[in-house]
Amino acid sequence: MLVRPRPTPAAKRAPNTRALTTDATPAESLPSGQTTEAVRVYRNELWTSKQRQASSIHEISYRACFKPQLPAYFIERLTREGDVVYDPFSGRGTTAVEAALQGRNVVANDANPLSAILTWPRLELPSVADIDKRLRSLRFAANASSDIDLSMFFHRNTLYEILGLRQYLARRHREGAEDSVDRWIRMVATNRLTGHSPGFFSVYTLPPNQAVSSENQIKINQKLGQKPEYKDIRALILRKSMQLQGGLSAADRWRLRGAAMSAHFLVGAAAATPAIAANSVQLTVTSPPFLDVVQYARDNWLRCWFNGLDADDIAAHITMSRTIEEWSAQMARVFTELYRITKRGGWVAFEVGEVRKGKIQLDEHVVPLGIDAGFNCEALLINQQRFTKTANIWGVGNNRLGTNTNRIVVFRKPR
């Protein structure tokens, strides 16, 4: 029988709602548009890597994901051990994994089935020894073939191994024999397909959260004068597995596996989640798609291919709005559903940003949406921090474009 570690005093204490703003400085007020009172705005470095070192288990790349410190900030302050923490736009599963690490119950949803593929194995957490044993046992079929040309990404022997692994995983899934070790290998292989360092299966290309097209990869190869070299995918999967699990304590492992026993992963629209009971969620921490800023089908086409998924079909079910009016209409339906499933006195932390070169500040549109759904808007928290290497890659050197400034609208359901 799996026994969870004893909760720390911090996990036992009641949610400290005042802690949301005690480490921030009120800077201004944002008119709510729906009430006579303004929404208080707080600006500060509310969560950074200096405040809390994130667990190594989070280090899975995914486009437009937030840092683990963000959900940790709200989980620590607004929940207790055993509470349900939810993310309707789960992405790589940052909120789910962080909630599990803190002994909370996990519910996650995403229209993209890649989300569960990238999240669930990190809760099941097979041992590195079992992963190594399974990798050593793999014997790839000699007749594995690809339905698309991937020679611009992979050495022919590397592609042979990738195709063999893809065929093996598909067969195990089809036969109902896929276990936690298979799912872990699938997750890591999905994450290691392409990237811009020797730790990936591919030749040098874009960062791993963006799969460049075959045509553009040919241009990259020509420009850099490179050609794919052989990569041992078994060795790379094992190395990444050791990195992901290397920083975990024994207590972390117990909490993750304990959370896996009751976790729920849904694949569908965030506005319709009948599988989640009414008044059951203590805290939602999420970040929806920002209009059509991120092209999920384009970025994930190779990951989808590896897992036998239709990227275009998935993209058709993801909230990709061209106008703020269309986006607001979709988010209004999401807030109505969040109000249904949130406990009385429960919370929603809704992270948005600035789009269209700062011309549209999504938080100003989110506030009335939450209020119309029945929530009270408690505050707008703006986390201002130094820019990362990724931001510099895109030529962003200040906060004007909102690229590296988290803007979280905090709502509470009346008691």
Q: Each residue of 293-327: pLDDT tens digit? A: 556 667 889 999 999 998 888 777 665 667 888 88
Residue 365: the pLDDT is 85
The long-range contacts involving 204-211, CB below 8 angstroms and separated by at least 24 positions, are 205/153, 207/61, 207/390, 207/393, 208/61, 209/61, 209/62, 209/63, 209/65, 209/299, 210/63, 210/299, 211/298, 211/299, 211/300, 211/301, 211/302, 211/303
User: What are the backbone dihedrals phi and psi of residue 115, each rounded to the nearest 5 degrees, phi first?
Assistant: -60, -50
Distances (CA, A) of 241 to 59, 135, 136, 246, 357: 10, 11, 14, 8, 38
CA–CA gap between residue 88 and residue 80 (Å, rounded): 20
pTM of structure: 0.86
CA–CA gap between residue 339 and residue 284 (Å, rounded): 10
Task: Kindly indicate the confidence band of residue 396, based on its pLDDT and cuts at 50, 70 and 90.
Answer: very low
Burial of 272 (0-12, 13-18, 19+ CB in 10 A): exposed
Residue 327 structure tokens: 């986006």
Q: Does domain 9-119+250-412 have CATH number 3.40.50.150?
A: yes
Q: Give the H/E segment covering residue 223.
A: helix 214-224
| Residue 239 in this model has a pLDDT that exceeds 70 | yes
Task: Kindly indicate the confidence band of residue 43, based on its pLDDT and cuts at 50, 70 and 90.
Answer: confident
Residue 306: the pLDDT is 96
What's the pLDDT tens digit per position in 144-181? 778 899 999 999 999 999 999 999 999 999 999 999 99
Q: In the chain, where are the structural domains located?
A: 9-119+250-412, 128-242
Where do the H-state alpha helices sit in 274-319?
296-299, 301-306, 311-316
Residue 21: the pLDDT is 55
| Residue 226 in this model has a pLDDT that exceeds 90 | yes
Burial of 123 (0-12, 13-18, 19+ CB in 10 A): buried
What's the pLDDT tens digit per position in 323-365? 888 889 999 999 999 999 999 999 999 998 665 455 667 788 8
User: Dihedral angle at the C-alpha atoms of 49, 51, 56, 59, nearest 10 degrees?
Assistant: -30
Task: Kindly indicate the confidence band of residue 38, based on its pLDDT and cuts at 50, 70 and 90.
Answer: confident
